[in-house]
Structure formats: C-alpha cells, structure tokens
Structure 1
Amino acid sequence: MSSSAELHKRRAAAVARGVGSVISSYVERAGGGTLVDVDGREWVDFAAGIAVTNVGNSAPRVVAAVREQVERFTHTCFMVAPYEQYVAVCEQLAALTPGTFDKRSALFNSGAEAVENAVKVARHATGRPAVVVFDHAYHGRTNLTMAMTAKSMPYKHGFGPFAPEVYRAPMSYPLRDGGLSGVDAAVRAIEVIEKQVGASNVAAVLIEPIQGEGGFVVPAPGFLPAIAAWAREAGAVFVADEIQTGFCRTGDWFASSHEGVEPDLVATAKGMAGGLPLAGVTGRAELMDSVHPGGLGGTYGGNPIACAAALAAIETMRELDLCAAARRIESVLRPGLEELAARHPAIGEVRGRGAMLAIELVVPGASGPTGPEPDPVTTARVALACHEAGLLVLTCGTHGNVLRFLPPLVISDEHLARGLKILGSALAS
C-alpha cells in the first residue's frame, strides 16, 4: 500500500485543485468511530463523512445487502426498467418522515439534487416563481443551490451568475440576533418576505431545521412552526432540508419533529444509505403528483445498490435504536463541551441537538454589530491541532468560526471521551 505522502503526490498530478480535503492522509479502513490511514495512523471520527455514516462505515447489514444486490444487477435505470428496491425505499420514507398524510417520493443522487427537485415540485404545483431561503443557509453546489446558499467562499465565489428568483430572509440565530424569541424572529423574517417578495409570489420556503454548513444554528423555539404556518397560509410550500439533520442524527428520525413541524416536502440524503449516494424528496401526494410523468428523475436516481444499502441502513437504525444513540452521544458530549466552555472564554456558545453539536469560537470580550466577534483564526488552529493529535473535526459557519461534531451514531463512549480529551488539549494549546 502506498503511503499518504506518495498518494498526495499522485493526487496533485491527477485530481483537480478545486477538490479539497480536510486532512492530507488517505484512509485505508474505517469503522467503530475511527479512521485508519494507509500508514496505520488512527483518528477518532467526529465527522462521519459529513453526517453520512450514521450507521458506521461498514455496517454489517449494509455490506451484506450491497453484496447481494451487486450479484443480482447493478443498474437498469428505474425510468426504463423499474425494480422493487426503489419502491421499498419510498415506502420507508413515507413512513418515517413527519406527517400522517398521504405521501409520495422521488429518488436522486445527492442532497443538492433533492433540493433542486423540491423547488421544481413547488414551482410546478403552485405556478409561482419565488424561492425563499435564510441567512447562513447551505443547500448545495449546483447553480440553483449555489444561489440558495448564503456563504460565498468557497461555494459561490467566481461561479456566477446564479439562478434568479431566490430571496433571503433573516434566520433565528439566538447568539447573534439580540435575544429575539423564535416567534419574534419569525415575525421579522415574514416582514422581509412580504415586503421584498410578496406572499403571492412565493412558491417555496426552504429551511434547514438546524443549519449545517452555516454554523449548526439552532433556531429559537417557535421559529420553525411560525414560518411553516405562514407558508401554508400564503399558499407556499414549506420545505425542510433534512439532508444533514435526518435519519436519527438529532435524536429523532428528523429534526422537524422536535417542534412538531410537518413539512409539505422533505429533502433527504447523507445518512440515508450508509455511505452510498442516495437522496430523496418526500411530501404531500397532491404536490408530488402534480408533476407530469417524466418531469422528475435521472439516470442514476434510486440506483438499486444504493436503495439496497438504504433499506439495510434503515433496518439497522431501527434495530440499534440510533435515535436513542444520538441522545446518548449528546449526554456524553454536551457536558464535556460545556465544561470546556466554562474554562475557555473563546467558546461563545455550545449548541446543537443529539449527535449534531458545535462550539462557536469568539474573541473574548470583543463584540461587533451581530454579537460576539467571530474568531476564525483560532478555530482553524484548534481544528489543525485536533487533526495532528488524532481527532477528525470539521469547521463551519458563515465566518468559519464554528467547530462541529458529527460522530457516527454507533461510536462508543470510550471514543467520545478520547475525542473530548483531544479537543480539550487542542483548546488549551
């Protein structure tokens, strides 16, 4: 096996510079909450492939299901010659996503595709053009989803012009919006929408119940229900982007359920298929079925191998009760993070839910127009120190000053404690 250094040289000669990586080591195997590189070095995994490997990197049921499906057939294209696995995944999505109303689903390859198709459905069903998203949002890297994403660098810089009819409203961000309640923050956002867009023009209001790349921002209680209620009254489609929050990550199957919100459409991906590329849009039957036959789809959407993996992953989530596992992870990580916050004034806030937690780093004692001054420099240094000491963490946030923690839901308490110890040493250094 080549060393990481040798592989890095090969990469430089073959892989486009625009494709970045968090670490420069190359993984040889992974599982149980750790990654091991080709040189035998081990990391505690607080990234889970960006919330993808919720059931682990090689869950036994997923491995067996994939192997069996590969031996049967790898592809026919569901739009040409359909198969049961696609149907079965859609049945599971109907059962698991919030709401007891009649639902339909369509399957795709990535989160960005799911978001784009949710917009397509909403526009087709309403006959309206406008899409409302929120400050700090991240929805993908395609042209439309770049327009919907708030952060310029590295996602949008130099790639415009972007798709039109996308409008941005202020998000509920408790650390940075002057202590507004969720309801008051919703009133502020709705006022912006009504004045700058017009309720009768809005096809969809699309939001992450807990923001991902934007900084793991958890809106104040009441914000999501109020925005969803306004959307329904306005005749707009309320879309929950549950791509990072879905499939047990926050301690429930979907984060919308924590406040009893039942989205009209739900976009899913990441944790659904145990690491294989699969995404979906699930929602009210009358909305999904408003699109003419052939209007939704794609060559690889709902690939049979990915569908087999998803069915096995969902079975694993049920069998191991990974919603409870996410709550257990929070019960271990959050007290440790709060203890670190008490010792380090640079930690402005500990936030998140379940196994989707974060700390926002700020300049102690310094403030700006939106609250505590962000400290992206220290954040980058702490992340690097973690990586060098054997803990894989990710940064995020509009200002790049948030460390996010997304361990696989099958990680042990021992590895959680080891990760916290490394993080504490990195902050101290």
Structure 2
Amino acid sequence: MPEITYRLPQEIKLTSNYPQGAESAKLAERRAAAVPAGVASTAPFYAVDADGGVIVDADGNSVVDLGSGIAVTTVGASAPKVVEAVQEAVSHFTHTCFMVTPYEGYVAVAEKLNELTPGDFEKRSVLFNSGAEAVENAVKIARSATGRNAIVVFDHAYHGRTNLTMALTAKAAPYKQGFGPFASEVYRVPMSYPFRDGNRGGKEAAAEVISQIEKQIGADYIAAVLIEPIQGEGGFIVPADGFLPELVNWCREHGVVFIADEVQAGFCRTGKWFASEHEGIEPDLITTAKGIAGGMPLSAVTGRAELFDKVQAGGLGGTYGGNPVACAASLAAIETMEEWKLNDRATRIEEIVREKLEPLVDELDYVGELRGRGAMMALEFVSDSTSQNPHPTAAKDIAAYCLERGVLILTTGTYGNVVRLLPPLTISEELLGEALDIFVEGIRSVGQ
C-alpha cells in the first residue's frame, strides 16, 4: 500500500492540564452561554487541527482519533487533495444552486457514484446535504415509483434525526424522546443479530421477518424495505450470512424497493466501496453521506434509473444540495481513496484490531463479542457470558479510561454497551497499535 506523508506528528502528546486546558476551558464557557445543552459532545477539549490519525486541541494536546467524526474523515481530516480541491473551488464560486444554474461538479459526482455503487444497471444520483436527507428522499422516490406507502425498517436501526427519519430510527433516547408525533406508515421488524439470537442462520431469520411482513402489512402495500447492511448506531450489527440476499429476493418478487442505508458503512469503511458488496447484493437505491466528501457536507441517493424516472420534475432537490465546494471535495476524496488503496487499508486495520482484541473474548467474561468489517469494528460488553445482559457501564468506563490517556473512542448500541472503532483509514499502523494497547488496558481495568 502507498506510504502516506503526514503534516502533523502522529503521536499522543498530553500536557499537564489535559483533558481541558485553559483555552478549551474558555471555549467551554463561551459554548455554555451560546449553545444549548441538547447538543452534547464526547470530548471536553476543542480541536484546532487534525491530520492522519490525530486531533490537536486548543492547548496543544495531541490525541488519537478512533472516531473519524463518526466515520466522516475516512481520508483524514485534512487530506491534501481534498484541501487543494476545496481551496480551488471556493476561489471560483461557493454557490449557485444546481436547480437554478447547474455546474459540472454535481454531474461528475453523480457519474462517479453511478460507477462505484453495486449493480451494472442504468443508474441516476441526486445529491443532498446529510444522511438523514438522503434517507428521506430515498423513501420519497420509492413511494413515488411504487404508488405505495408502507416502509419496513428494522430493530436497532438508525436513519437520522428529522421527523421521518426519527420514525425510521429504532432507539428512543436520546434521538426520539419528547419529539413526537412521528411520520406514519413505518413498520418495524426484527433484525438479524447473531450475538443475541443464538447465531440463527440468515435465511431462517429472513424467513421470520418475511412472514411477519406478509401477515402484518401485506406485500402489495409496501413501497420499500430500508436497512443498514451493517447497522451503525445500533451497535455495528452484522446480520447473519444470507439474511440480506433473502430480503432482496423477496423484494424483487413483490415489486418492493430495497434501500441500503450506507451512510456510515460506505466509501471503503468496511474494506469494500460499499458494505452491500460483502454479500453480493445490489440495492435498488443506496444512500450515502459521511465519508463521501472528506468532511464536507454532502449526501446522495443512487439507484435504478427507472425509479428516478417516476418522480416529477422539481420533486427532488434542495437549495444547498450538491454544493459545488462539497462536490469538489468529494471527487478529491474518492481520488484519494483510490490512490491510497483505502479498501486495502481498511482490511489491514481489521487484521490489526482482531489480533489485539479477539483473545479478550475468550479470556474476559464481560467481553461478549468482537464484530464488524474493515475499519468498522466493535466490542459488545455484557455482565457475564452466560446471561449476556448488556453492560453499558463497562463501555462508558472504558471510553473514559481511553480519553484520559489520549485516545478518543465512541460508544454506541441500543443498550449503550458497545464500543465502536472507526479510525481514519489513513492512520498509521504504529499509532493504531499504540491506541489499541491503551484500549486493551481500559478493557482489563473494568474487571479489576
């Protein structure tokens, strides 16, 4: 794999006043007076620079980033090609609105998405700003194309924070609590969760879901089945082999649109361009965001041309959708992924993570499962291996242990008992190894 030259030293460097020095403390005071408490942050420090696998804060601390801004900075937070592309784009124009005066960047991103996403059928792509916006518009397209209303979603799912996507999301707190009523015609069914359903086979799990769908909703009423090929906020749940293909086959038989939400898993994160490729499925529509543009706000819906053709002119769009600067960043980010072979790097990251963490599953009773693909890996913590009761305190304490020692990691999961690892794919193996060693120390500290 190509060597990467870093702009910042790739190291943990902590001052005596870490984790919140004087400058970060001043910013925290300003924040308290200006930003509502409903916007929460994991870290108490404030970033001023980032590169490769590190974030530097306002007081000069350098910490390892194992979150990538929730899977966004796949190519790093200041990848040279992305920086150059953004600077060049912004020097020409920041906005015209593609719906008013179109420009090549939007078209070029759509062409690239049509090329990279699974399936050799004719495709179209439409650009938006956020993952939730992409999901919401995928639902609109499916309903328009089928003339049906019902949307099938899954337990443990996360699809966004708008009114419709809150309805699609499974977890109540903190995402939905107090924000209803929600959009209607959303139906939830069980997810294949091998760790918690006795490692039941994918085909068996799919048969149960399909039976429930047919009995409780009816195939002729369903516009789309919407699923994350690897669930993100739900706990990095990888469904059993065969689960997704069975659902796709059923959708094909009944004229139901199959939507893959790849907002978190897409763009090399799992060792392939898209997580759907691991099981050889070809979604009718695929939603993307996060890693699509190196940190700039951009999202997309890509899929079968005949579905888009059913939507009336003016039915899709948005003032900022496909912003020209974000489009330039996206093309540069994708070029960086190709040039640096980031799919291979994601696969290598998984090898390193498994080597460090897999022994703990057998060794420690409260480490329930290591799962994931590529650089989208997670550990689920339980009170004990027999009961498998969720142990959210363990995840929280481990994250705090790591943060105190200069490693930023994120918790997740329906039960709050999962620690997820989402490092930038540009992180060095040496720095990743150092961070994982601290993570392992934190895991062991829970049992002491």
The TM tier, using the shorter chain, reads: over 0.9
2:4 is matched with none
Tell me, yes or no, if structure 1 residue 407 matches structure 2 residue 423.
Answer: yes
Identity over the aligned pairs, expressed in percent? 64
Check the 8 A contact 2:366/2:385 in 1, yes or no.
Answer: no
Tell me, yes or no, if structure 1 residue 347 matches structure 2 residue 367.
Answer: yes
- Structure 2 counterpart of 1:390, one-letter code: G
2:351 is matched with 331
1:373 is matched with 389
1:306 is matched with 326
Unaligned runs of 5+ in 1: none
- Structure 1 counterpart of 2:411, one-letter code: T
2:6 is matched with none
CA distance in 1, matches of 2:364, 2:319: 51
- For 1:9-408, what aligned pairs fall within 5 Å after superposition? 9-367=29-387, 372-408=388-424
Unaligned runs of 5+ in 2: 1-20
Q: Once superposed, which parts of structure 1, at least 4 consecutive aligned residues long, lie more than 3 Å away?
A: none
SS in 2 for 1:133: strand
SS in 2 for 1:119: helix
Query: Size of the alignment, in residue pairs?
Result: 425
1:3 is matched with 23
- By how many angstroms is 1:179 displaced? 2.4
CA distance in 1, matches of 2:348, 2:307: 37
CA distance in 2, matches of 1:295, 1:110: 18
2:15 is matched with none
CA distance in 1, matches of 2:385, 2:414: 20
Check the 8 A contact 2:289/2:300 in 1, yes or no.
Answer: yes
CA distance in 1, matches of 2:110, 2:192: 32
Check the 8 A contact 1:104/1:289 in 2, yes or no.
Answer: no
CA distance in 1, matches of 2:413, 2:131: 19
- By how many angstroms is 1:234 displaced? 1.3
- Structure 2 counterpart of 1:405, one-letter code: L
SS in 2 for 1:89: helix
Check the 8 A contact 2:368/2:385 in 1, yes or no.
Answer: no
Deviations 1:304-358 (A, max 9, x none): 0000000000001111111111001111111111123333221100000000000
- By how many angstroms is 1:365 displaced? 4.4
Deviations 1:16-60 (A, max 9, x none): 111010111101111110111111112111100000000110000
- By how many angstroms is 1:379 displaced? 1.1
CA distance in 1, matches of 2:269, 2:309: 29
Q: CA RMSD for the aligned pairs? A: 1.0
TM-score of the pair, normalised by structure 2 = 0.94
Check the 8 A contact 2:110/2:125 in 1, yes or no.
Answer: yes
- By how many angstroms is 1:366 displaced? 4.9
CA distance in 2, matches of 1:52, 1:342: 32
